[in-house]
Chain A
Amino acid sequence: MNEKQIAENFRASYATGYVLNTLNVGTTRNQGVEVSLDFTPVKSKKLTWTSQINFNHMWNEVISLPGNVPEFYISDSWVYANARGGLVTGGPTTSITSFGYSRNNKGDLLINPTTGLPISDGAFKVHGDRNPDFTLGWTNSLKFKNFTLSFLLDSKVGGDIFNATEMYLTIAGLSKRTDDRYTPRVIKGVLNDGLQNSATPTVNNIAIVPAYNQAFYTTAMPEEEFIQKDVNWVRLRELTFKYTFPANVYRRLRSVTSLSAFVTGNDLFMFSNYLGADPAVNANTAGTRGVGAWGFDYGNTPTPISINLGFKVGF
């Protein structure tokens, strides 16, 4: 529990004489479990296989914020439209707050009875948590005679991402989701006609064709729509194959004490349910204050595959 933390650059009444304030306020809790397992599955004269598994799980919560601060957001995470890393009392510290759909008391989408389109609630509410359920890393090293093969498998399970790139492309009509824009449809929901919270709300029956009604992709499609839940990945972070030369190869070079050749591939494969390019995103840099801006994808490019060849010489 971090009590009375320094909250930097939060807003308050101008009566302080400032627009941005710094005070020891706010309480958050951050707990975690990290389990590391080292083992050697095979150990013989010719073959040695060592392995390490690293498991991590974090819990976090905003315990309290000053009563006059409904949402304390990390402005560096606010890179596109109306979604940002906002801290709300009772929510996670790694939340995504954004505009969402207006809903009735049963959770049905409210539909504007004039346009047949959903209604944005125009308010920043918690719609996602960027914190994964857990992360798992698996390092392996297989040594056979003079050959060594090592690799790191990295996986993340759970955690949400705001896909601003997809939102941008949707508004521009370049996303695949706009392919069927000429297909008429009726959006599932109830009309916002005064009966929406009654026992018998009016079911929406207004057909629309998005191609003739751009608001479908813009004002009527709030950021909530672009927050992808539970993004998982498994990726091969690194794969190295190394050959260590026997000492007689370099015996004549007196100053050399060891010599090896290697080939390393980074990010050779990645399996993910993420709809964007690469789920390992950060809309800002690692230097961003607070929780940072990871989990915000706005024009991020995927990690490239890289292959390195080299010799390693010890003197």
Chain B
Amino acid sequence: MKKIISTLSITAILLAVFVTSCNKKIDDAYANPNADVRVPVETILPGLISCMAGNGAGHGPLNDYRFIGKYVQNFAFCNTGGQYDQMGGTTGSSDNAASLWRIHYFDIGQNCMNMIKWGQEEEKWNYAGVGKAIFAYSWLALTDYHGEVILKESFNTGQLTFKYDTQEDVYNYVRQLCRESIDLLNRTDGKSTATNLAVGDQYFYGGDVAKWKKFVYSIMARSFHHLTNKATYSADSVVKYCDLAINDNLDNAMVKFAGTSVSGTNNFWGPLRGNLGSTSIGTETAMRQSTFIANLMNGAGTFFTGVQDPRAWYILRGNTNGTIKGVDMNKGQTVIAAADRCESFWGISQNPSVSNTTPSNDANCRFIFRNAAPFPVVTATEIAFIKAEALYRKGDKPGALAAYTDGISKHFDMLTTQFATNVPAAKVITPAMKAAYMADPKVMPATAAALSLSHIMLQKYIALWGYDVLETWTDMRRYHYSDQETGTGRQVYVDFVKPSGGDLFINNNGKMVYRVRPRFNSEYVWNIEELGRIGATALDYHTKEMWFSQP
């Protein structure tokens, strides 16, 4: 009898095990003893932060800006024949300029989803709020970059093909994320302490929730301001969010780097990581300052004519003649007289008669091109210029002039306080130099009525140069590169020359660039059917205008 009972009970246990195991997923059923699938949220955040610049794997905006920085003529390729100088799209099986796609869906993706989920489960509301903030930033960047993207079906691991959603859907979702983020960041109950947030937030805001909220409002301001061409554009909403957003250089959203001897802890554009070096035509990463930015700052342009901008020596590079000059798009540097060729961003002279130190020395690098230089994601100067344009469009010209003045001033202060490293002693900006520049009648209109869109957009272009490339591209696409201000008969971006003829990429069919195609080794290989539906298989897909810039 005893034996029968024990046999029965064993059978029962076996049945029980069998029944429950069928309902479990593999990760639940078999915990991995070497790598737990659940990690502390504090360890997820640093990786997400690095994605907003360039992460240890070399992915992030800094990777892509090397290419699309040529669309807006922040940069120019040092050789001729650069595809991006010619506003060409990525072709063939290349993943150039497709890093944002990867960081959004892969590097941030499920990691951020987990941080939000676990943050809420563990009552670390601020981590969940920060996760939504980073996602809001990332979704907006993704759609401003690619246009239609996968939103509603994203992060579904049970699916094999994915439908694309409209840009309008993504914009709405960004605002939803922003609102949810603010709600979570407002919570101080549970384990939502600044001390604990600081553990994961060391390289961004150091655990300061008030600053994170300003970051979120900045994304909100961007999302409303990008729609200037629409009848629904609301300048009041933009101004409202600008006033809540980053308004002080101390609140600038910056990814910071430890800058140790380990490559991955350094700025992607610094000499140690060496990502701006190649002069081969295929990669086009050897970039120089363009003629457009150089002429905005050296007095050679037709708008700020004759005005020497002292900020040039903080962000641009000189040459053997001691002047600031740029490289023309698609023309390369060799057509320039040797003594006029600007140095590379690592301070390497391009004049063959000058000897250089090899390898590149960090002590010769400035601005965002140093190993440990922080990388600005959103700055107070950007918000000031967004506000200036919104007020200008609303018809409040005195208000616009005040914000415009504030924007220039904040950029000066940002450079002198946060990016003064390695600037030659003779070129260090003094308060008198700043005042003189800001008082110049070419820069500062005598009356509010004399302020123009060109003032705002060109000074914004200077203030965002190098780091806020995607935002600058969004601006220029809003103005279709060459739109004129009503009544002036003058292009808003004065002196900006659109590539044409042999300087415009052949696939463009005469059109300007408006988007980057989705990443090849994600979509063109594994999701090709859907690309056909949205027209992304066309060779000139990159010239298709986006929703945000259309009426």
In the complex, identify which listed stretch (B154-162, B197-205, B236-244, B431-439) lies at the interface while the others stay far away: B154-162
Contact A23 B158 (CB under 8 A): yes
User: Which chain A residues lie closer than 8 Å to B109 at the CB level?
Assistant: 14, 17-18
Q: Is A15 an interface residue (CB 8 A)?
A: yes
Nearest CB of B to A209, in Å: 30
Nearest CB of B to A58, in Å: 29
Complex-state Cα separation, A111 to B161, whole angstroms: 38
User: Which chain B residues lie closer than 8 Å to A25 at the CB level?
Assistant: 160
In the complex, identify which listed stretch (B215-223, B305-313, B456-464, B525-533) lies at the interface while the others stay far away: B525-533
Q: Please tell me which one of the listed residues B105, B519, B529 contacts residue A17 in the complex, with CB atoms under 8 A apart.
A: B105
Complex-state Cα separation, A88 to B522, whole angstroms: 19
User: Which chain A residues lie closer than 8 Å to B101 at the CB level?
Assistant: 14
Contact A23 B106 (CB under 8 A): no
Q: Which residue of B lies closest to A6 (CB)?
A: B26
Contact A14 B105 (CB under 8 A): yes
Q: Please tell me which one of the listed residues A16, A19, A69, A70 contacts residue B159 in the complex, with CB atoms under 8 A apart.
A: A16
Interface positions, chain A 4-30, Cβ under 8 Å from B, are 11-19, 21, 23, 25
Complex-state Cα separation, A49 to B155, whole angstroms: 67
Nearest CB of B to A197, in Å: 23
Interface positions, chain B 120-178, Cβ under 8 Å from A, are 150, 153-162
Contact A18 B525 (CB under 8 A): no
Contact A15 B158 (CB under 8 A): no
Contact A17 B158 (CB under 8 A): no
User: Which chain B residues lie closer than 8 Å to A18 at the CB level?
Assistant: 106, 109-110, 157
Q: Is A306 an interface residue (CB 8 A)?
A: no
Complex-state Cα separation, A18 to B521, whole angstroms: 12
Contact A12 B160 (CB under 8 A): yes
Nearest CB of B to A22, in Å: 8
Q: How many residues of chain A are within 8 Å of chain B by beta carbon? A: 17
Known interface pairs A11-B526, A66-B160; A17-B150 also in contact (CB < 8 Å): no
Q: Please tell me which one of the listed residues B158, B159, B519, B528 contacts residue A14 in the complex, with CB atoms under 8 A apart.
A: B519
- In which size bucket is the chain B interface? 20 to 34
Q: Is A41 an interface residue (CB 8 A)?
A: no
Contact B529 A15 (CB under 8 A): no
User: Which chain B residues lie closer than 8 Å to A21 at the CB level?
Assistant: 157
User: Which chain B residues lie closer than 8 Å to A70 at the CB level?
Assistant: 525
Known interface pairs A67-B529, A68-B529, A69-B526; A15-B154 also in contact (CB < 8 Å): yes
Nearest CB of A to B138, in Å: 13
User: Which chain A residues lie closer than 8 Å to B102 at the CB level?
Assistant: 14
Total A-B residue pairs with C-beta atoms closer than 8 Å? 67
Contact B523 A13 (CB under 8 A): yes
Complex-state Cα separation, A11 to B102, whole angstroms: 14
Q: Please tell me which one of the listed residues B155, B523, B525 contacts residue A16 in the complex, with CB atoms under 8 A apart.
A: B155
Q: Is B113 an interface residue (CB 8 A)?
A: yes
User: Which chain B residues lie closer than 8 Å to A15 at the CB level?
Assistant: 105, 150, 153-156, 159, 162, 522, 527
Query: Chain B CB within 10 Å — which of A15, A21, A25 has the most?
Result: A15
User: Which chain A residues lie closer than 8 Å to B106 at the CB level?
Assistant: 14, 17-19
Complex-state Cα separation, A18 to B105, whole angstroms: 7
Complex-state Cα separation, A155 to B38, whole angstroms: 52
User: Which chain A residues lie closer than 8 Å to B526 at the CB level?
Assistant: 11-13, 68-69
User: Which chain A residues lie closer than 8 Å to B162 at the CB level?
Assistant: 13, 15
Contact B160 A17 (CB under 8 A): no
Complex-state Cα separation, A19 to B523, whole angstroms: 11
User: Which chain B residues lie closer than 8 Å to A66 at the CB level?
Assistant: 160
Contact A67 B160 (CB under 8 A): yes
Contact A68 B110 (CB under 8 A): no
Contact A13 B157 (CB under 8 A): no
Q: Which residue of B lies closest to A65 (CB)?
A: B160
Complex-state Cα separation, A268 to B101, whole angstroms: 58
Contact B161 A67 (CB under 8 A): yes
User: Which chain B residues lie closer than 8 Å to A23 at the CB level?
Assistant: 157-158, 160
Closest 4 interchain pairs by CB? A17-B110, A14-B105, A17-B109, A14-B522
What are 30 A-B interface contacts by the 8 Å CB criterion? A11-B521, A12-B160, A12-B527, A13-B150, A13-B161, A13-B523, A13-B526, A14-B106, A14-B109, A14-B519, A14-B522, A15-B105, A15-B153, A15-B156, A15-B159, A15-B527, A16-B155, A16-B159, A17-B110, A17-B154, A17-B155, A17-B157, A18-B109, A21-B157, A23-B157, A25-B160, A66-B160, A67-B529, A68-B527, A68-B528
Q: With contacts A13-B161, A16-B156 known, what are 7 further pairs, Cβ within 8 A? A: A13-B105, A13-B522, A15-B156, A17-B154, A18-B157, A66-B160, A68-B528
